[in-house]
Structure 1
Amino acid sequence: MRHGWLRELLGWLGAAAIAVIVTGQVASTAREALLLRDGDSLVVPMFVRSILEGQGWDWAMSTVLFLPESAMFALLRLALPVGIDASLLVNAVINVIALYGAVRLVAGRRAPGKAPVAWSLAAIAAWGAIAVTETSAVRESAELASLLLTTTYYSATVIAVVASIGIARRVSDRSGRRQGMLIALGVVAAVATLSNPLYLVWATVPLGAVLGVAALRSDDRARMLALLWWLVGGTAVGLLGRIPFTAWIENSGLGYAQPQLWPESAAYYGGLALDRLSTPLGWGGAVVIAGLVVLAAVRTARASRRGERLVAASAWMLPLLVVIGAIALGTHAARYLEPVVFAPLLALVADPKVLPRLSPALSRIATAVVAVLLLVGAGLSVPRVVSAATASDADLACVVDWVDESDRSGAGQFWTVRLPKLHLEDPSRLVQVDHQLNGYSWLVNRRDFDTTAVSFLVVDDQSANWELSLGARQVDVVECGRYAIYDLAPEELPLGFPHS
């Protein structure tokens, strides 16, 4: 216990090393496109740039407001003299370190015979082992672990859910006064729900079910019910807090629930699972997850303490209930199933005992070996992260330079236009539209729609076929690699009414 602070510091450093290793590996595969160039993945950088440069607050957001993610990215942009890609990759590393912090909260307090730091690192290593098996650029796939590396796909919600379980565990294990921890649970639930109501589905409902069952079986029913009420109350406050942001929210999320489509939803998610299992890497990731779920079930059955049972039960009940709920609601989005990947990690910290038959000398040797491996791995991964952060994109530069020099306004479709738009001197020069040239008000600054006509279009392979009548207009085509610019000058095309 004398060196507890050193163990904690080494744990954070180990988590940082794993974060760099995993980020470097994922960024060196085709999945790098999802981290740095995907239309969805760019919403936080675009929003933060808009706010920091005073381009206006009239944004059209989805159900998710990305408040914690935007705050973190804004801090990085203000603190680091690096480009957008570098900021995104640094943010990826921070997301993993934050997940470690949440898992460490779940692991509980240090005590004789316990090794919460080591087991928390083991949990993050297990996540990393799954993440490095994910190598495709496909956003709609069962490759869910690496989504934590993005600023868009609910990293803050993942961390909030794990932290909520950690708070519940600390309250369960702790005797005496616990009001501060209960308040902390309410605050986490409120902020997480305010930013992303998916917290309700990932944490409030399944964790509430775990707490409800625990209240029925526990000899400390008042404690379990207090956790339940603060969880539900915080969630309710978060939902009410979304009311002032109604003007920003283009989709309340209610439209995503289509229970009548549950057979199609089951087939969709089943297809994603089969695709994932069609490769050796996919099998590797699935084996890790399956092993953790089995461990969680065993530890639930054998648990002797409330906190241990709560964590172990959460590790398998959250994925189960989320999958059942996603199918029952008829949803069709792989990212909704992220608890399948991160919740089972908690099986490793449900009962973080020191391994038997491990002498102090052997323990020190093992720690030194792991430390060296992590240090070497992180050192070898830094150049890979730097390479991804500084890689040139001649096609993108061609479009950005042409638009900046033209001093005119153009348009493009969602998946095509967002990356060039982010890098322009004036992002409003590229208006986000649909294939009929109506403004597409989705994850974008509505100020852009002050533009009423455009004189060029930016297209690529992701653009849908345009439904436009160009008549006798002269169209010059500027080739920019994977992009093409259809220059109509001096003619202009009028923009239609914006819609979401």
Structure 2
Amino acid sequence: MRRVWVRELAGWSGALAVAMVTVAQVASSARSELLFRDGDSLIVGMFARSVLSGAPLDWAMSSVLFVPEAAVFAGLDAVLPLDVNGVLIVNAVINMLALYGALRLVVGRRRDDTAPVTWALLGLAVFGVLAMTDVSGSRDALELASLLITTTYYSATVVAAVLCVGFVRRVIDRDEGGAALLIALGVTAAVSTLSNPLFAVWATIPITVLLAAMIIRSPRRIRVAMLIVVLVIGTALGFLGRIPLRAWIANTGAGYIQPERWVESLGYYGGLLADRLATPTGAIGTLIVIALVVLAILRTVRGEDPGSRFVATAAWVMPVLVVIGAIGLGTHAARYLQPLAFAPVLALVAAPRSWRMPVGVPSLLAGAAAVLLAVGGALSVPRIVDLSAAPDPDLTCVTDWVDSSARIGGGQFWTVRLPKLHVEDPARLVQVDHELNGYAWLVDRGDFDVDGVSFLVEDAQTVAWQLPTPAIPDEVIECGRYRILDFGDTVLPLGPPHS
């Protein structure tokens, strides 16, 4: 028993080192824009801090409610003496650790001829390499693995999809029992669907298809059928749970489904793939994914037991079905294709066989790997600290001015969200469109309960203002990439809010 705990502790320690190396590398690239500053990426931090403030909530959310993500961020923000960037980077490390935990579940229990900890850690390391090949600052690039370390781009849904593969594999591997695993599967499906309907596309549909195929040949038809029932019921309960929250859902996502535009969608995703292949790191990342898919297919064909075969098949069926579905529905968003990054990694944990080596070689290799991980993790700590504490004088200029003004101002979505997250009172910055109508998207609609604004924040992303009443600013405060248009005692009225 003691050796088991030592192995598991070593696995988690190695996972922490991999997580820190990955986060440090991604955060030091242009990809840091999505982690720290992107308007979309800040919703979880904004929402979590709104919840912690105790103020009344009237949020306009997208189809995604970010329930697990907001809970993790709020918990970290409540207990850690860190600023926003510090919490974001700790959250990034935790997301990677959560993926390791999910992979450890998928790989199955240890037997005499298996090495589950090693394979789970290898899976996380390969995923980390994929994330480190993502180097652009674009949210629309086909750079999918690095999205896991953000708080916004469905990290909880990624982990939940892998967890569900693990729950199913564990039930299939068992000779009897498994009630706790079935309950965990149903709860995970319900919470994940409640938070993000994409879970049904990424996990429920592919897993159900695979299990339905297994029923034909499996001698355990009742057990396989029970897995399908639990997964489908959990997903259905998640959708039902969204009904009481519909006042917060400003966009159900139905408008994103345009099957008549499938040709445009094919061209869009094809263009993203071409852009990905045009860079050395992108080509390397693509080759890694292709190699994993080939391995998954081989392990599907050569699978020695139903559990291994199921995981290996999921590794290539999940991304195939998601890509076909995304194109068939006419979607135009790279983030919907994340199973292309995380599902193929399942090929590594499908059959965690241990290798037969001369006596002493496994210990030598394990020691060398431990040293490399320890050194990499240790060297990443100061990088992570420096990255989270990196000064942003332009942002500080804006937030200091807003905090000291004690007045209410406004700004457009892509401009105002970063200062809004960092000011002492977020309600002092109202999210508006270029005509000064309230823009109720990923924001608390209570912000619009004001007479108007007396200053505007703008930057290069700001659309030219078309103010409802002619007004000339009394002063223009230059803050690097930002400008503050101060109208003094003049209050510009807000138009009706819209999403």
Q: Normalising to structure 1: TM-score of the pair?
A: 0.98
Amino acid at match of 1:172: I
Deviation string, structure 1 residues 333-358 (Cα, Å, up to 9, x no partner): 110000000000000010000123x2
Aligned partners of 2:373 and 2:286: how far apart in 1? 24
Aligned partners of 2:473 and 2:416: how far apart in 1? 22
From the superposition, tell whether residues 454 and 472 of structure 1 become closer, same or farther in structure 2 (CA, over 3 Å). closer
* Superposition map of 1:121-132 within 5 A: 121-132=121-132
Q: Does 1:149 align with 2:152?
A: no
**How many residue pairs align between the two structures?**
499
Aligned partners of 1:400 and 1:349: how far apart in 2? 47
Deviation string, structure 1 residues 226-262 (Cα, Å, up to 9, x no partner): 1111100100011101111111111111111111111
Deviation, structure 1 residue 218? 1.5
CA contact (8 A) 2:414 2:461 kept: yes
Aligned partners of 2:371 and 2:209: how far apart in 1? 42
CA contact (8 A) 1:27 1:384 kept: no
Deviation string, structure 1 residues 378-411 (Cα, Å, up to 9, x no partner): 1111111001111111000110111111111111
Aligned partners of 2:322 and 2:473: how far apart in 1? 54
Aligned partners of 2:148 and 2:4: how far apart in 1? 29
* Superposition map of 1:261-300 within 5 A: 261-300=261-300
* Superposition map of 1:289-328 within 5 A: 289-328=289-328
Aligned partners of 1:69 and 1:334: how far apart in 2? 20
Deviation string, structure 1 residues 77-118 (Cα, Å, up to 9, x no partner): 111111110111000000000000000000000001100100
Amino acid at match of 1:482: R
Q: Does 1:440 align with 2:432?
A: no
Deviation, structure 1 residue 360? 3.8
**Equivalence for 1:449:** 448
Amino acid at match of 1:399: V
Aligned partners of 2:439 and 2:387: how far apart in 1? 30
Deviation, structure 1 residue 471? 3.1
**Equivalence for 1:346:** 346
From the superposition, tell whether residues 372 and 469 of structure 1 become closer, same or farther in structure 2 (CA, over 3 Å). same
**Equivalence for 2:380:** 381
**Equivalence for 2:107:** 107
**Equivalence for 2:229:** 229
Is there any run of 5+ residues in structure 2 with no aligned partner, and where?
none
Aligned partners of 1:22 and 1:473: how far apart in 2? 48
* Superposition map of 1:46-445 within 5 A: 46-356=46-356, 358-445=357-444
Amino acid at match of 1:429: R
SS at match of 1:138: coil
CA contact (8 A) 1:56 1:445 kept: no
Deviation string, structure 1 residues 430-470 (Cα, Å, up to 9, x no partner): 10011111101011111100023111111111112222365
Aligned partners of 1:147 and 1:265: how far apart in 2? 21
Q: Normalising to structure 2: TM-score of the pair?
A: 0.98
Aligned partners of 1:34 and 1:474: how far apart in 2? 32
Deviation, structure 1 residue 2? 5.5
Amino acid at match of 2:113: G
Deviation, structure 1 residue 490? 2.2
CA contact (8 A) 1:14 1:371 kept: yes
SS at match of 1:344: coil
From the superposition, tell whether residues 495 and 308 of structure 1 become closer, same or farther in structure 2 (CA, over 3 Å). same
Amino acid at match of 2:202: W
SS at match of 1:392: coil
**Identity of paired residues, percent?**
57
**Equivalence for 1:468:** 467
From the superposition, tell whether residues 365 and 247 of structure 1 become closer, same or farther in structure 2 (CA, over 3 Å). same
Give the alignment's Cα RMSD to 1 decimal.
1.1
Amino acid at match of 1:218: S
Aligned partners of 1:484 and 1:454: how far apart in 2? 15
SS at match of 2:248: coil
